[in-house]
Every structure is written in C-alpha cells, then in structure tokens.
Amino acid sequence: MVAELAEAGARKATRHKATRNPEASRSRILNAARNEFVSHGLSGARVDRIASHSAVNKNLIYHYFGSKEALYLAVLEGIYAGLREQQHDEDLRELPPVEGIRRLVESTFDHFVATPELIRLMSVENIHFGEYLKRSRSIKPLYSGLLDTIEILLRRGQAEGIFRSDVDAVDLYLSISGLAYFFLSNQHTLSWLLERDLASRRRVNKRRQHIVDVVLGYLLGSPLAGAKG
Amino acid sequence: MVAELAEAGARKATRHKATRNPEASRSRILNAARNEFVSHGLSGARVDRIASHSAVNKNLIYHYFGSKEALYLAVLEGIYAGLREQQHDEDLRELPPVEGIRRLVESTFDHFVATPELIRLMSVENIHFGEYLKRSRSIKPLYSGLLDTIEILLRRGQAEGIFRSDVDAVDLYLSISGLAYFFLSNQHTLSWLLERDLASRRRVNKRRQHIVDVVLGYLLGSPLAGAKG
DNA sequence: ACCTCTATTGACTAACCAGTTAGTTAGCTA
DNA sequence: TAGCTAACTAACTGGTTAGTCAATAGAGGT
C-alpha cells in the first residue's frame, strides 16, 4: 500500500505527460483517427485502437467528438480542406492557358501522390454514398472557385485559338482528376492484374507525364478528329 | 398434436420450398452476399443479413463457403470474371485502329455503367490493399489478353501514321479505365461538391462522348504539341 | 483557501456478431 | 429398406465493440 502510493507519486513527478493539454490531446486523437479510418475504413476502424494509438483514454474521444461517426466526419473535413488548400488554383488564372492547365494537372497529381490518405478516404466516403461529407458545413464553399479557374483558362485558350472549342469545364476537371485517381486508388489490384509495379518511382513519373500529354493532347486537338459524327 | 402434424404435412405438400436445392441455395447466398458486400464493404457486411436475405440458415453459408472472407472472395471472383467476359476484346483486334479504340473505350464505360457493383467492389478491394484478389487463382489469367489487344491496335495505328508514336499500352489502358471509373466511383461526393447531378442520363451520355474525345484526341495528336520540352 | 469548470481516467455494460455445436431431414444407393 | 452422405436448422458461445457512468484532478479565477 505504501509502496503503491510511493510509486504513484514518482510516476506523477517524472514520466507523467505535462498533466493537461487539450489541444495536443485533440490533435493526437485526430491524427490517430485519420490513420485508423484510412487503413480500415469506417466500419473496420476501432475506437479502442484510436484511443491506444493516441495515448488517450477512450472516453476522451467521446468527450471531444461525441461518436465514432462524428470523429470520422472531423477527419474527413480535415482531409478535403487540405486538398483545396494545396490547390491554390487562383494563381493559375493569370498564366498562359497551356501552362495553367499543365500546372493544374501536375499539382493535382502531385498532391494525390503526396497524400495517399486523401484518395483512400475519398474511396471510403463514396462507399458510404458520400453521406458524411454531405453533413459537412465547411467543405463545399472551398470548391466553388475551382471550376471558375478551369473555365477562365479554357475560355482564354479558346479565344487564342489553341484549345478546341467543345470542352466542358466539369468534364475536364473530372478527367484531370480521374486520370490520376484511378491509377493511385486501384494501385494494388492493378499492379497484380497487369503484372507491373505501379508504385515504382519510374512508373509514377511516367504516369505524370502521360496525364499531361493526354489532357493537353486532347485540348490542343481539333474537335472533329476521329469523332463519330 | 394431430393438428400440428396435419399442418406440417400440408406445408410440405404445398408452400414448402422444394425441400432441397443445393445449387439454388448456393446461388441465392452468392447473390445476397454480392449485394451486402457492395452496400457495406467487407467489414460493414453482416453474415446474418446475408443469411436472412437469401432465406437460408446462417450455418449453410459456413457449410458452403467456410468463412465470411471466403464468401467475399467468391463474390469478388465472380464480379471480376464478369468484367472480362463482357470485354471480349479479341473481336476488336481486326478493326481499324481508331474504330477499335473507340469501341474499347465505349464498352469499358458501358460495362461500368451497367454494373455499378463492379466499381464498388473494386473500391472495397483496394481499401483492403487488394489482398483478397491476390488470393484468387482464377482471375489473373483472364487479364493477359487485354494489354495485347491494346498493343495490337496501337501498333497498327502507328504504322498507318495516324496515332502518335510515344504511347504506352499500360498507360493507355489506365487512362481509358480511369476516365470512366472516377466519374462513377466518386459520383456521390462529386455531385455534391460540384453541384451537378452526375447520375443524370444527360450527364452520363455526355461523359461517354467526352471520354472518347479525350482518348482519340490524345492518340491522334502529335507527340510534341504542348509538351514540356 | 475555496470554487468551478473541464480535462482525464478506469471500470463497466449492453448489444452485436462471426463462428460453432449438436443435431434433424431428404434423397441416393446397395 | 437400411445405411450413408450432404443439405439444412435452431440455439448457443465467446470475444469484441461502441458507448456510458461515476469519479478524480489540475488550472484559473475570486
């Protein structure tokens, strides 16, 4: 009994982690939660595992976030916000159209490569029909400027007579993202099925160049070449 | 007691489901399992739900498939095999290159649209790092011919001087699939973020045409147009 | 010194869920 | 028709898991 008390006192004095630190606890939880949801999806994620990896009592998670689903939503909002922060596409609007589109394609690809968690969470969220993202109040406003940027670059390129005239900004955005996304999101099954290591540095660099070629090859081509008409 | 026996007899004679039918039971299980895994993913799927939807005792599932994971693998094999069956790309090898590629693009897109389960299961499987697909003995052989078909069409198009010369078959396949896949796999989040109904008939048709334009626009363009130099 | 708010904890619970046990029943074959 | 095998079932189990309860403890204000 005395020994126990002494030990508890020693623990408190020495290795105890700076008593209280709400911000740090909260961010450790979010961090561990992101890893957990990214690795196991929403249903596969375990709150106990998040607690132990963030070195926090499980109930603290409920204290801060209320439920597993609310925690997932917080993680989701963070990752989508990060995507838009990285894009700062406003800067591209002033560039020559070819250069602006090229930069957009490259930065989209690069961000996907640098943040694998993003693609995995996007997949997870779509498995759940996007129902959690739809609950977010903070995400949608971030996306309003993106299509505008593409539209501006497209219009200028068309006015200059170098881009084909029948391009829709939404379709172009979906293509730019899709060309990068599929290659990364389905890397595991594709590497195995095609018997190529799609994660290799060489392959990733090659892919980056290919995507630029596809998008610009399309935009710079004439509308009727090869069309079904 | 007598009444009970009579009732049991009547049930057996009339509304009882043809006493035994292993093939039917097995396929009802597989069917319900496909829906369940497609709707909830692997961790979110519930064996009890599969049992009740297939109107079968839960243990029959274990009798036939052994485990939840083995059942998932059976579903996965079925859906991937279906994809390759539908593609019958051998037929395309004889066509003029532009026509062959166009058909490949269109049929890939059409099959994705017609079989939403396919895309969802591909996403689910990649969340799990493709580890179940890799256990399959039956799937990989089906994919060996696909790249050959693309290669043949590419070579002929290049020999005829109409396709650009720097195209890799793997990259082209990834682009054809990716252009269709992302649009469909992330339809829920994208529709909400972009404030467009991507599931509408008009949008889907438009997307199909756009993808053909992108792929052919790229292939028919000259390698150096807009390249970084 | 005391009070109050909030961070933090350990122990608990009720529900859930994959998988099992211990059988019964139908149909085929010798 | 007896015996065997596979289809099929009901009830159960043990481990897991999201979420709760009841309390302690630190920090800032008064």
Residues B126 and B177 sit within 8 Å (Cβ to Cβ): no
Using the Cβ of B135 and the Cβ atoms of chain A, whether some distance falls under 8 Å is answered with no
Residues of B in contact with A227 (CB under 8 A): 212-213, 216
Q: Is the pLDDT of residue B145 over 60?
A: yes
Sign, CA dihedral A10-A12-A13-A16, equals positive
Which token pair is B46? 């519930």
pLDDT at A97: 97
pLDDT tens for residues B23-67? Answer: 889 999 999 999 999 999 999 999 999 999 999 999 999 999 999
pLDDT at B18: 62
Class of domain A77-220: mainly alpha
Residue from the list A126, A190, A214 with its beta carbon closest to the beta carbon of B175: A214
Measure the N-to-C terminal CA separation of chain B; round to a whole number of Å: 91
pLDDT at B81: 86
Distance, Å, A39 CA → C9 C1':
28
pLDDT at B67: 96
DSSP state of B88: -
Architecture field, domain A15-66: Orthogonal Bundle (1.10)
Least confident of A49-58, A210-219, B20-29: B20-29
How far out from the chain centre does Cα A131 lie?
Answer: 17
Q: Is the pLDDT of residue B111 over 60?
A: yes
Mean pLDDT of all residues in A65-77 = 96
pLDDT tens for residues A99-120? Answer: 999 999 999 999 999 999 999 9
Class of domain B78-220: mainly alpha
Q: Is the pLDDT of residue B8 over 70?
A: no
**Nearest of B195, B182, B213, B7 to residue A166 by alpha carbon:** B213
Mean pLDDT of all residues in B83-89 = 77
| Helices A97-114, A144-159: crossing angle, 10 deg rounding | 150
Q: Is the pLDDT of residue B140 over 80?
A: yes
**Domain extents in chain B:** 21-66, 78-220
Rounded mean pLDDT of chain A? Answer: 88
**Which chain B residues in 149-208 lie under 8 Å from chain A, judged by CB atoms?**
164, 166, 168, 170-171, 173-175, 177-183, 185-196, 206-207
Q: Is the pLDDT of residue B200 over 90?
A: yes
| B21-66: CATH, from 3.40.50.450, 1.10.10.60, 3.90.870.10, 2.40.50.140 | 1.10.10.60
